[in-house]
Amino acid sequence: MLAKDIMTTDVVTITPEASVEEIAKLLLARGISGVPVVDAEGALVGLVSEGDLIRREGDAGHHRSWWLDLFAGAEEQARDYIKVHGRRAEEVMTREVVTVTEETPVGEIARLLEKRRIKRVPVVRDGRIVGIVSRANLLHGLATHKDRLGITPSPDERTIREEVLALVKREGWITHGSLNVMVADGVVELWGWVDSEAERKALRIAVEEIAGVRAVNDHLGSLPPSMRGI
């Protein structure tokens, strides 16, 4: 299996000018822990994670030991100050973003996440983001395909997945977070959040009508009332 077989394709992005407050609200509303930053041409330029925001708040009143300052140059100290006190994405984002391509094997992605101690990795094509693979995506793939992670999905399975994702994007039913879809032997596994039971039922019915779908397994969670309307 490759990145394109498990990645989330409905990727939320922000611009470098987005404020820290806007980013925090977006992460909460979408139920995600990180968001890519893209420029006016759509090129990936950075990533802001909840860790960046948490560290920012935690370090705001913290002063580094004097002996560490002896080894840190003026430029490094300036960057640290911007990271802690910055108000926009371009000031607090991580710029050295680890990325993969659509053809990267999932085993390689798993090792990369473990080695770099990161929770997600953007999938890029020609410098532009086309998806994200998170630890959750890997778990979904493992739960769905079990012993088939090393097997390339059939063209029919990939076609069904693409049709389901296109359907969701067209209908706009999923309003919080992103839907993830796995397909194995004609069985569609749905992962994500729904606002209501009507949304869940409509999604199941629509997916069942797609040619080649034999069954639909629903792993969709119900959005907590406290998050509705955010």
pLDDT score, position 193:
80
Predicted pLDDT of residue 141: 78
> What Å distances lie between residue 173 and 25, 37, 181, 190, 205, CA to CA?
21, 25, 14, 13, 13
> What type of residue sits at position 228?
R
By the 8 A CB rule, do 32 and 12 touch?
A: yes
pLDDT recorded at residue 78: 46
- Tell me the β-bridge partners of 193: 221
From first to last of its 230 residues, the chain has per-residue pLDDT tens of: 899 988 988 888 999 999 988 988 888 877 788 899 999 999 999 999 887 777 655 454 444 444 444 444 555 544 554 456 568 899 889 888 999 999 999 889 999 999 998 889 999 999 899 999 988 888 887 776 665 555 677 889 999 999 998 888 888 766 555 678 889 889 999 988 887 888 889 889 999 999 999 999 988 887 655 555 44
Please tell me the predicted confidence (pLDDT) of residue 70. 43
Q: Which residue reads 């890519």 in tokens?
A: 36
Sign of CA dihedral 162, 166, 172, 173: negative
Q: Quick one: pLDDT at residue 154? A: 82
Query: Which H or E element spans position 5?
Result: helix 3-6
What's this model's pTM, rounded to 2 decimal places? 0.70
Q: At what angle do helices 135-145 and 106-116 cross, to 10 degrees?
A: 140
Torsion, CA 213, CA 215, CA 219, CA 221, rounded to 10: 80
Domains of the chain in start order, with CATH, are 1-134 (3.10.580.10), 153-230 (3.30.1340.30)
